[in-house]
Structures are given as structure tokens and as C-alpha cells.
Amino acid sequence: MTEHKPRAWRNALAVLAALVVGWQILHAVVGEVALRSPWETVAYTAKLFASRDFWPNFDETMTAFAAALAIAVATGLAIGMLLGFSRLAGEVFEPVLVALYSIPKVTLYPIVLLAFGLGMQAKIAFGAIHGIIPIALFTINAVRNVRPILIKTGRVMKLTTWEMVWQVLFPAAIPEIFTGLRIGFSLTLIGTLLGEMFASQRGLGYMLMNGIGLHNVDVIMSVTFMLVVFAAVISSALLAIDRVLHGRA
């Protein structure tokens, strides 16, 4: 492991460098009309950070995302625990969840808008529906794969359902559940942003759409860049924790 780590870092850095070089070359080929160079993008991002108009949009997106993630995690875990623990309920509803997971959720956006109206609620709902199902599916599998002896021991000790969930199932299933949370994080973020892109008056997704409408390449590139960096940093951290959790077992 100790020998493996520096190499993995080096390889990741090499891919990162290749991405920046590729971006620079693409910029040279395509030209200013469609792309900004990496340096120009970073410079404009810094300028956005310094401007007053940017932060309310940022806050809006982060608030919506945090709410959506909280709903997705709580609902996903609850559904997952329930269906994972009860064999019959799991057999009945898991295929339904799998089918729902596979549908292109953008298609549902007009319905979400009609149900929740234009604004914060619709964004949160749209983010949450992206995250709930993967979290639930991973939790179902995690709970099912808990070694039966642990559950039997819990029964012998006469644990209540609540104690069983919090003291036995959850700790034993945490590595798998965490993988679900990691994926749920990404999908909830993308869901929230998509919600903002299609219909909203504020937020980073709105800034993107507005940039697209006005053909403001600076804004499009900087906001995309910002989102990619944000997603990449948090995903990598979650991935590292994920690996540690799985290695522990």
C-alpha cells in the first residue's frame, strides 16, 4: 500500500496534466469563439469570485443541493434499510426501484415543475429524486450482505428494531452504504444543476443557461470549470474514504 500510493498520485497527476494540455490544444484548434484557454478560464473564475453578483447564485445552488442531499440520504437509507431487512418487501419492490433507476429522469422535469412550481422546491425535488434510488439500492444490498450471525446475535440479545438498525446493521453495512452515498452525492449534484438549468431564475445552473443564451463563453467555461473542480475534489475525497472503509473489512 505504501508503495502503491505515490504511484497512483503520480498517474492521477499525469492524467490531469494531459487533460489541461488537451484543453489547451483544443482551444488552439477551435479558437476563441467556442472555448477559452485554461488560463483565461481560471482568471475569469477568479473575477467571478470577486464579483458581488456571483455569491447569491452560489448560495442558492448550495442551499438547494444541501437540502436535496439531506432528503436523498434520509429517504434512501430508510427505504434501503426497510427493503434490505424485510425479505418479502425487498423482493417485491427492488425490481421497481431498479426500473425507476434506469429511466431518464430529465424526462420527468416538466412534471416536477407542474407539481412544485418554478423555484427552490422544484430544484430540491429534482436533485433528491436523482439521489434517493442509488442510495436505496446500495443500502438494500449492503444490509442483505450483513453476516446472518450478527443479526442472530442481535436477536438473542433481544435488541429492538431501532437498536438493531443503529447498532448492528448500520455499522456492519457501512462500507457498501458509503459507496451508495458517494454515487448519490454525484447524482444529486447533477440533478440539482439540471433543475436549475431548465427552469429557474437563480443559481449556478441558471448562470450556465444564461451564458448559453447570451453566448457568453467566459461564463459557460468558468461555471463549468468551477463545478467540475468542486465535484472532483469532493468525489476524490469520498473515494478515498470509500477505499479505507472497504479495506478495513
Partner 1 sequence: MNRALVLRVLALAAAVAVLEALCRVGVIDRFTMQPPSRIAVDLWSILATGKFNAAILKTLTNAGIAFALAVSVGIAAGVAIHGLKALREGLDPLFATYYAIPVLAFYPLLIILFGLGDAPQILIGFMLGVVAVIVNTLNGLDRVPRVLLKAARIGRLTPVEVATQVTLPYAVPYVLTGVKFAVSYAFIGIIGSEFVMSRGGMGFEIAFAYNNLDNATMYPLIVLILAVTISANLMIARWEKALLARRGLA
Chain residues in the site for partner 1 (CB under 8 A)? 7-8, 11-15, 19, 30, 33-35, 88, 91-93, 95-96, 98-99, 102-111, 113-115, 182-183, 185-187, 189-190, 193-194, 197-198, 205, 208-209, 211-212, 215, 220, 223-224, 227-228, 231-232, 234-236, 239
Closest to partner 1 by CB, 120 or 241:
241
CB of residue 155 vs partner 1: minimum separation in angstroms? 24
Cβ pair 98, 104 in contact under 8 A: no
Rounded to whole angstroms, the maximal C-alpha distance in the chain is 70
Q: Is 117 left (phi over 0), alpha (psi -120 to 50) or beta?
A: left
CB of residue 148 vs partner 1: minimum separation in angstroms? 20
Cβ pair 83, 93 in contact under 8 A: yes
Closest to partner 1 by CB, 173 or 189:
189
Closest to partner 1 by CB, 150 or 245:
245
Q: Is 118 left (phi over 0), alpha (psi -120 to 50) or beta?
A: beta
Closest to partner 1 by CB, 62 or 159:
62
- Those residues with Cβ within 8 angstroms of residue 221's Cβ, 6 or more apart along the chain or in another chain: 35, 36, 40, 41, 44
Give backbone dihedrals phi and psi of 119, rounded to 5 degrees, phi first.
145, -160
CB of residue 59 vs partner 1: minimum separation in angstroms? 19
Closest to partner 1 by CB, 73 or 193:
193
CB of residue 17 vs partner 1: minimum separation in angstroms? 10
CB of residue 238 vs partner 1: minimum separation in angstroms? 8
CB of residue 166 vs partner 1: minimum separation in angstroms? 28
- Those residues with Cβ within 8 angstroms of residue 126's Cβ, 6 or more apart along the chain or in another chain: 68, 105, 109, 112, 191, 192, 194, 195
Closest to partner 1 by CB, 29 or 156:
29
